[in-house]
Amino acid sequence: QVQLVESGGGLVQPGGSLRLSCAASGSIFRINRMGWYRQAPGKQRELVATITRGGTTTYADSVKGRFTISRDNAKNMVYLQMNSLKPEDTAVYYCNTYPGGHYWGQGTQVTVSS
> What pLDDT is stored for residue 29 in this prediction?
84
- 20-59, pLDDT tens digit by residue? 999 998 888 888 999 999 999 999 999 999 999 999 999 9
Positive/negative CA dihedral, 64, 68, 71, 76: negative
- 95-114, pLDDT tens digit by residue? 999 999 888 989 999 999 99
Q: What torsion do the CA atoms of 12, 5, 42, 13 make, to the nearest 10 degrees? A: 0
